[in-house]
Amino acid sequence: MATTTTIVPSAGPVAGSRSFLSRLREGDEIARMFTFLFAASVVLITVLLVFELWQGSVLSRHKFGFNFFRTSVWDPIFEQFGALPFIYGTLVTAAIALLIAVPLGIGAAIFLAELAPARVSDTLEFFIDLLAAVPSVIYGVLGIFIVVPLMRQYVQPALKLSLGFLPLFQGPAYGVGFLTAGVVLAIMVIPYIISVSREVLLSVPRDQREAALSLGATRWESTWKVVVPFARAGIFGSIFLALARALGETMAVTMVVGNTPMISSSLLSPGYSIAAVIANEFTEATGQLHTQSLIELGLVLFILTFILNGFARLLIVATSKRGSGMGHV
């Protein structure tokens, strides 16, 4: 205690003697101001966005209130607007996408990071990054010309035959619909999951692997029980990145989802998503209430993303307490 009290006063004047101007000249203050400005702009943009969506949807919010979330009629002629089918479609397609993409993506990442020779891994990583950069409209085209016919002719009839007793796989096989949109979304988000998860797995310290191996673990035991749990937080991060993309994806979804505001227990049935309906109807919306309802849908999508991301953060915190290495670093 005595030593700290003698040190602090002597350090004080030294730090204080450097004036604001001298620190400005040396760049410290400039760097601080500029970086603060950049950081603040993120918050500013978010606030502006919410404000605009809130302001722009004032009519529909007042007219429908909470019924907006509870009703499923979307009728521009009679100006009745309910968001439920779009919320449902957005969540269902994103869920299907993750259900397919997570096991495939993480499996591929484990192969690339742990098992594949370095040259194979690096080459494939190049292609994966390429896939992640392909515009979504291209995936939409792929969906229309390849996925939809495949689904209509082979996958959906097969699903109906084998699992048709489930309400999930009933009704006519149109080709377009929730399931197809989910599959196309899965194809789109897999590169994100692979790329980020691979990076995270590769960054797991070597000594973790070696510790497991030195205890007589097989290569797979060391991968599955030590390396993957260590990287858990980062792998979750890749999944949430994928989820965010799946929720907001517009073009590819609207090309294959069927664009019908419908809530159906069957994944084969056509549907709609929030982003898709905004893109399709915004330019053609004539009535003010129609436009404002679409803006409110945007607000809903924003909130949905916000809530899911919040859950994601909580999940990361909760699991890293239980022992992911990255949480401690």
| Shortest distance in whole angstroms from residue 173 CB to other proteins | 47
Residue 216 sits in the site that holds other proteins (CB under 8 A): yes
Residue 223 sits in the site that holds other proteins (CB under 8 A): no
- Give dist(CA 247, CA 188) in Å, integer: 12
Q: Which CB atom, from 207 or from 284, has the smaller least distance to other proteins?
A: 207
What single letter denotes the amino acid at residue 236?
A: F
**For other proteins, how many residues bind (rule: CB under 8 A)?**
24
Stretch that binds other proteins, among 192-200, 203-211, 265-273, 304-312 (CB under 8 A): 203-211
| Shortest distance in whole angstroms from residue 118 CB to other proteins | 7
Nearest to 268 by CA among 182, 170, 181: 170
- Give dist(CA 64, CA 82) in Å, integer: 8
Stretch that binds other proteins, among 61-69, 206-214, 241-249, 287-295 (CB under 8 A): 206-214
Residue 171 burial by CB count (10 A; 0-12/13-18/19+): exposed, middle or buried? middle
Residues 81-140, interacting with other proteins (CB under 8 A)? 118
User: What 3-state DSSP class applies to 159?
Assistant: helix
What single letter denotes the amino acid at residue 215?
A: L
| Shortest distance in whole angstroms from residue 215 CB to other proteins | 4
Among 52, 58, 210, 288, the residue binding other proteins under the rule CB under 8 A is 210
Stretch that binds other proteins, among 98-106, 166-174, 215-223, 236-244 (CB under 8 A): 215-223
Among 164, 171, 229, 248, the residue binding other proteins under the rule CB under 8 A is 229
Q: Which CB atom, from 200 or from 299, has the smaller least distance to other proteins?
A: 200
User: What 3-state DSSP class applies to 73?
Assistant: coil
Is 268 in contact with 174 (CB distance < 8 Å)? Answer: yes
Which parts of the chain fold into alpha helices (H)? Answer: 2-17, 20-26, 28-56, 58-64, 67-70, 84-110, 118-132, 136-142, 148-150, 156-163, 178-202, 206-214, 219-222, 228-230, 232-248, 251-256, 274-281, 288-321, 325-328
Q: Which CB atom, from 135 or from 205, has the smaller least distance to other proteins?
A: 205
Residue 317 sits in the site that holds other proteins (CB under 8 A): no
Q: Which CB atom, from 152 or from 209, has the smaller least distance to other proteins?
A: 209
Under the rule (CB under 8 A), what is the footprint of other proteins? 118, 205, 207-218, 221, 225-226, 229-230, 323-325, 327-328
